[in-house]
Amino acid sequence: MPAATSAPLALRCRGCGRRRLQTAAAWRCPDCRGLFDLADFTPVPPPLAELSGRPATLWRYAEVLPLTVHPDISMGEGLTPLLGVPDRPGVGVKTDHVMPTGSFKDRGAAVLVTAAARLGVTRLIADSSGNAGIAIAAYAARAGIACRVYLPATTSTRKVAQLRALGAEVRQVPGSREDAAQAAMLAADRPAEGEGDGFYASHVYQPLFLHGTKTFGYELWEQLGGRLPARIVLPVGNGTLVLGVHLALRELLAAGRIDRLPSIVAVQAAGCAPLARAWQHGALDPAAPLPPAGPGTIAEGIAIARPARGAQILAAVRDTGGTVVSVTDEQVRAAHADLARRGFFVEPTSAVCWAALAAGLVPPPSGPARGSAGPDGSAVPEIVLPLCGTGLKAEPPDPAPPSGWTLTDR
Ligand SMILES: *Cc1c(COP(=O)(O)O)cnc(C)c1O
Ligand SMILES: [Zn+2]
């Protein structure tokens, strides 16, 4: 495994192309306000055989991560089970709802907070619809970094309770998810008011977060014996999972570890679907003038009206030959209940991919079937989707559906 890198990481602005070294203060380009990518970083994934015997966490992909594990900060995140679904041959679910804080956001948070600790940060701020803030707060607690999280006032009470228990200072902001983000950005840029020694641990702006979420793609590749399904169905709001998986796919292809890209089917909730709408209109950027985002949705984790990396998300999906679709709240409720009846208790947002599959919105794989045998003789699923967040910290969408065992004395 490569040695730890302690040199500062380099960033490149997507707007003006300027390169600069990472600092605690710069979360977007000071010249043009563009978003950053990592610069000078073209990692080469190791052959599959070299991975055996490594720690059972996402840090096993050391060659492709921009920094090494910090043993005090890591909570053993990653390598979540990939399961088949009994009556749905060809479909696999990756169970990221069993991550340390209950969502895939731990992948990005573990990497981003580790970087913040290496920068010597003593406090950080984040904004979130819930899960990203919780993940950042948990890893910040591990790192001994003070944490403040800006949330929409409507965030599930259980998520707020979890944040407080983790020691985060919670600022609930009236209005939408965007208003919470605005409040965080204002604080991130306000050194005169004593906020300036902080670090904006934004899962949207900080590219390191995406280099954490990309491990979802690497795990899938490894768990399927060096293959990938034809379709990867992912929820999309700010695109941290879509963009992370796209990074992994491109890195694997560039290194010749796979021979073609699976297509990404990105799923939005119809009540807030700027990306699906832009996709339908053939727009390159959801910020282009389009009808308003919609009336809202129970899928609170993807209710993002103006995704900052919107154009990048659309380009990533297009690059894989994929598509962006949307599902209604009614379909999400049904999918949520259906998953629960299979033993998977997830939050409503986590049911959007299952809903898209049930609604026939995932195009069937074309070309030669890839359901060929994997390393242990088992079939490689044609379609994989994640369970992104546990149901334990969200408000359930409905009273429990009637059970087969009716207790007549109630
Ligand atoms: C964050 C989150 C999403 C969406 O991720 P984006 O990065 O906003 O695209 C989906 N599901 C759950 C449970 C989440 O926490
Ligand atoms: Zn710039």
What pLDDT, in 10s, does the model give residues 31-43?
999 999 999 999 9
Task: Give the torsion sign (CA, 135, 330, 234, 13).
Answer: negative
Tally Cβ neighbours within 10 Å of residue 4: 11
Burial 104-119 (b: 16+ CB within 10 A, else e): bbbbbbbbbbbbbbbe
Pocket of ligand 1, beta carbon within 6 A: 103, 105, 131-132, 235-241, 301-302, 304, 347, 349-350, 388-389
- Look at residue 200 and tell me whether its pLDDT is greater than 80: yes
Residue that the structure tokens 């659309």 belong to: 314
- Determine contact, residues 332/299, Cβ cutoff 8 Å: yes
Average pLDDT (367-383) is 63
All residues at 6 or more sequence positions from 205 whose CB lies less than 8 Å from its CB, including other chains: 27, 28, 35, 36, 308
Tally Cβ neighbours within 10 Å of residue 255: 16
Residue closest by Cα to atom 1 of ligand 1: 301
Closest CA to 179 of 303, 297, 328: 303
- Ligand number with the minimum distance to the CA of 349: 1
- Look at residue 303 and tell me whether its pLDDT is greater than 70: yes
Average pLDDT (171-199) is 80
Question: Between the ranges 154-168, 193-207, 219-233, where is the mean pLDDT highest?
Answer: 219-233
- Which ligand 1 atom sits nearest the alpha carbon of residue 131? 15
**3-state helix/strand/coil string of 292-355:** CCCCCCCCHHHCCCCCCCHHHHHHHHHHCCCEEEEECHHHHHHHHHHHHHCCCCECHHHHHHHH
**Distance (Å) from CA 12 to ligand 2 centroid:** 8
Task: Among 10-19, 106-115, 181-190, 372-381, name the one with the lowest average pLDDT.
Answer: 372-381
**Distance (Å) from CA 206 to ligand 2 centroid:** 14
Residue 362 banded pLDDT, cuts 50, 70, 90: very high
Residue closest by Cα to atom 2 of ligand 1: 301
CA distance 201 to 136: 7
**Distance (Å) from CA 106 to ligand 1 centroid:** 11
- Give me the chain's average pLDDT, please: 90
* Beta bridge pairs of residue 20: 11
**Distance (Å) from CA 191 to ligand 1 centroid:** 30
Average pLDDT (209-222) is 98
**Distance (Å) from CA 26 to ligand 2 centroid:** 11
Residue 408 banded pLDDT, cuts 50, 70, 90: very low
Substitution candidate for ligand 1 out of 136, 158, 240 with most atoms within 8 A of CB = 240
- Look at residue 60 and tell me whether its pLDDT is greater than 90: yes
Substitution candidate for ligand 1 out of 302, 344, 385 with most atoms within 8 A of CB = 302
The reported pLDDT for the residue numbered 256 is: 97
- Ligand number with the minimum distance to the CA of 351: 1
The reported pLDDT for the residue numbered 156 is: 84
**Distance (Å) from CA 299 to ligand 1 centroid:** 9
Substitution candidate for ligand 1 out of 131, 345, 346 with most atoms within 8 A of CB = 131
Residue 177 banded pLDDT, cuts 50, 70, 90: confident
The angle at the Cα of 183, spanning 158 to 285, to the nearest 5 degrees, equals 95
All residues at 6 or more sequence positions from 333 whose CB lies less than 8 Å from its CB, including other chains: 298, 348, 351, 397, 398
Residue closest by Cα to atom 3 of ligand 1: 301
The reported pLDDT for the residue numbered 4 is: 44
Residue closest by Cα to atom 13 of ligand 1: 389
**Distance (Å) from CA 218 to ligand 2 centroid:** 30
What is the widest separation between alpha-carbon atoms in the chain?
70
How is the chain split among helix, strand and coil, in percent rounded to 5? 35, 15, 50
Q: Taking the mean position of all CA atoms in its chain, how far away is CA 407?
A: 40
Residue 155 banded pLDDT, cuts 50, 70, 90: confident
The reported pLDDT for the residue numbered 2 is: 39
**Distance (Å) from CA 236 to ligand 1 centroid:** 6
Task: Among 13-27, 235-249, 286-300, name the one with the lowest average pLDDT.
Answer: 286-300
Q: Bigger pLDDT: 293 or 204? A: 204
pTM: 0.93
